[in-house]
Amino acid sequence: MDAQFCWTCLTTPYGDGDLVEAADQAASLLAWLDAGNSPPGTVLTTPFGMGDPWDKAVTRAVYKLILSVPPEPGRKSSSQ
| DSSP per-residue string spanning 8-54 | HHHHHHHHHTBHHHHHHHHHHHHHHHHTTPPPPP-S---TT--HHHH
Q: What is the pLDDT of residue 34?
A: 92
Smallest CA-to-CA distance from 3 within 34, 41, 51 is with 41
Cα distance between residue 16 and residue 66, in whole Å: 13
Predicted confidence band of residue 78 (pLDDT cuts 50, 70, 90): low
pLDDT one-digit tens code per residue, 19-55: 888 888 888 888 988 999 988 888 765 566 677 888 8
Taking the domains of the chain in order of start, what are their residue ranges? 3-42+50-68
